Chain A
Amino acid sequence: MALPTTPIENPKSFGASKRWTLPNKYKLFLMALPFLVTTFIFYYLPISGWIYAFYDFTPGIPLSDTPYVGLKWFKSIAQNQTQMEEVLRVLKNTVAMSTLGIITSVFPVAFAILLSEIKSSWFRKIVQTLTTIPNFISWILVYALAFTLFSVDNGVVNTILIKLGFIDEGINFLATNSNIWLTMIAWYWWKSLGWGAILYLAAITGIDQELYEAAEVDGANRFRKIWHITVPGIIPTFFVLLVLSIGNFINNGVDQYFAFQNAMNKDSIEVLDLYVYNIAFANNFPFATAVSMLKSVVSVMLLFMANTLSKVVRGESII
């Protein structure tokens, strides 16, 4: 009585023998259990670490021996002038990078549209293959390439600029605080443009060719065809990615900024994710946790907002 019976539509699971066997629904659950436990440990258990934001915790001393300080660390974010300025600076960098990212998210769209206008299929294939490679190397490697190409005394960029007479002596491009946002977004698209265009290229392939033929009969030129057929065909894809990037507005990720940061450019490169990392490494764990926690909460709120937006505009949720 207590155990639910196996559904009738599944008679084979009883097999030949009549002895009691574990119902399939639990058998499946037990097989998945070790993996569910792993998921719990590595994705859910860390949430318990939020408790450290309420203690005067220093690494090495057990939590039971550290004083409970309530909201001290949260208040400290906005407590004094210097701290305020620092947080505002970091927020400014975060907003700038995310906004630049959203504005330039039309790049892969343009890339896909223009590439699909190229008739020669081998040229298309080569472009697609080679421009996707940078996506698969780490940000450390990107930085290593940048380091060599832009090095002051023997990097190819400075050598050429000097030879052409644009500059007299090498510029240290990587150790400067000016234009860092633009440099970062440029590197980002160098790495991601080819890869980012793949989804749009697939969407363009999915467009009914008869639409183009019909438009041609009506005398539409290339730009009219792009505007009235190609663009509407890829707008749904663009919208989904746009909404996701709104959900990720304060999550810039740490990899790129970690790789490119140095003492010279720190003021402009420190986005929220990198800031959390840096203060943790200055051994201020509770403060880093507090900032981390606020970030997670805001980030989930943004995601729900983005999801609602998607439901209202497209009648479809993205999560």
Chain B
Amino acid sequence: MRKKSKHSTSGIAFQAINYTLFGLFTLTCIYPFYYLFINTISSNDLSAAGYITFYPREIHFDNYANVLKINGLAQAAYVSIYRTVVGTLLTVGASAFLGYLFTKKEMWLRKVWYRMLIVTMYFSAGLIPWYITMNNLGLTNNYLAYILPTIITPFNIILVKTFIEALPPSLEESAAIDGAGYLKIFGSIIVPLITPILATITIFSAVTQWNSFIDTAFLMTDTKYYTLQFLLWRYLNESASLAALIRNSQDMAASMQHMQTPGSVRMTVTMIVVFPILIIYPFFQRFFVKGILIGAVKG
């Protein structure tokens, strides 16, 4: 009586096509990373000739050892790490605290301030007025330009506020009766309870910071403020200057077996910038998903 479609011919055909489509798309999503990786660890000559397609040949790790000798790369790595660590810590701290304060209905004009914050997600003055303001504030060629503007991230604050509002209020009330102030309640009761959502926004912010490059393009003219992302973009667009850089670093390592080429440097730098994300991603996937779902509930 019951018609089980999964046993019918069309059902099997459907499943076969479905599995194939998803298999192919999944391969498309990860093959580029794999392709780049095997090219960075294969002989640079074979790689430059286009022979490395599915598996590495003549494996070596010289590219990774030598790429950091290139002028400016270590500095860029430092800037990228700095903005990711400091920027993330500050925005997570600020989002946690402000998110908590906004759950307090007794705050003076709370709704006005909260709206003022939320509206910024839908409205911006525009790129150029923003640039001019940053310039007037002295935030060009300045490390602070990477971390100050991101301290307030409305989306993070919504996530924290929503999360705290879903907690049972009794915990906080009993502490308040014991005479604890807002700061004490926040530090000793709220923070331990909201660690899941703090982990989520930590990952969101860290990835955003690591990936940012438009702010560098706008605000930084001095090369010492360049991030890895921006340096990579320069390498992709200025082959001539990259070749010169390689020649300079090559002299110092004349003994090395595998000569670096602009191609090998580009690929190696790309891999170095991608690695941190590929490594943290599997561990934090569930946090990402949790974050987007809470965000979606609140709109």
User: A133 touches which one: B15, B130, B267, B281 (CB < 8 A)?
Assistant: B281
A49 to B135 CA separation, bound complex (whole angstroms): 11
Q: Tell me if B22 and A123 are in contact (CB < 8 A).
A: yes
A99 to B175 CA separation, bound complex (whole angstroms): 54
Q: Tell me if A35 and B107 are in contact (CB < 8 A).
A: no
A223 to B237 CA separation, bound complex (whole angstroms): 49
A288 to chain B, nearest CB (A): 4
Interface residues on A, range: 35 or more
A29 to chain B, nearest CB (A): 4
Q: Tell me if A38 and B35 are in contact (CB < 8 A).
A: no
A119 to B15 CA separation, bound complex (whole angstroms): 9
- Is the C-beta of A285 less than 8 angstroms from some C-beta in chain B? yes
- Is the C-beta of B171 less than 8 angstroms from some C-beta in chain A? no
B255 to chain A, nearest CB (A): 26
- Is the C-beta of A148 less than 8 angstroms from some C-beta in chain B? yes
- Is the C-beta of A228 less than 8 angstroms from some C-beta in chain B? no
A27 to B94 CA separation, bound complex (whole angstroms): 17
Question: Taking each of B102, B128, B131, which has the highest tally of chain A beta carbons within 10 Å of its own beta carbon?
Answer: B128
* Residues of B close to A202: CB separation below 8 A: 289, 293, 296
Interface string of A212-238 (1 = CB under 8 A from B): 000011010110000000000000010
Interface string of A35-47 (1 = CB under 8 A from B): 1101101111111
Interface string of B9-38 (1 = CB under 8 A from A): 001001100110110011011101101100
- Is the C-beta of A138 less than 8 angstroms from some C-beta in chain B? yes
- Is the C-beta of A249 less than 8 angstroms from some C-beta in chain B? no
Q: Tell me if A38 and B182 are in contact (CB < 8 A).
A: no
A98 to B104 CA separation, bound complex (whole angstroms): 40
* Residues of B close to A130: CB separation below 8 A: 26, 29-30
A277 to B79 CA separation, bound complex (whole angstroms): 24
A281 to B54 CA separation, bound complex (whole angstroms): 42
- Is the C-beta of B152 less than 8 angstroms from some C-beta in chain A? yes
User: A147 touches which one: B109, B214, B236 (CB < 8 A)?
Assistant: B236
Q: Tell me if A138 and B106 are in contact (CB < 8 A).
A: no
* Residues of A close to B288: CB separation below 8 A: 132, 136
| A-B CB contact pairs (8 Å), 30 listed | A25-B108, A28-B106, A32-B98, A38-B152, A39-B117, A43-B120, A46-B124, A46-B130, A49-B129, A50-B129, A127-B26, A137-B274, A145-B36, A148-B267, A153-B50, A154-B47, A190-B28, A193-B25, A199-B296, A222-B5, A240-B299, A277-B127, A289-B126, A289-B132, A292-B128, A293-B129, A296-B124, A296-B125, A296-B126, A318-B299
Closest 3 CB pairs of A and B: A49-B129, A292-B126, A154-B50
Q: Apart from A28-B106, A221-B3, what 17 extra A-B contacts exist at CB < 8 Å?
A: A24-B106, A26-B108, A27-B182, A36-B113, A38-B148, A42-B152, A114-B22, A118-B15, A129-B285, A133-B30, A136-B207, A144-B266, A148-B36, A154-B263, A190-B28, A285-B132, A299-B123
B interface residue numbers (CB < 8 A to A): 2-3, 5-6, 11, 14-15, 18-19, 21-22, 25-26, 28-30, 32-33, 35-36, 39, 47-50, 53, 94, 97-98, 101-102, 104, 106-110, 113, 116-118, 120, 122-133, 135, 137, 148-149, 151-152, 176-177, 179, 182-183, 207, 210-214, 217, 229-230, 232-233, 236-237, 263, 266-267, 269-270, 273-274, 277-278, 281-282, 285, 288-289, 292-293, 296, 299
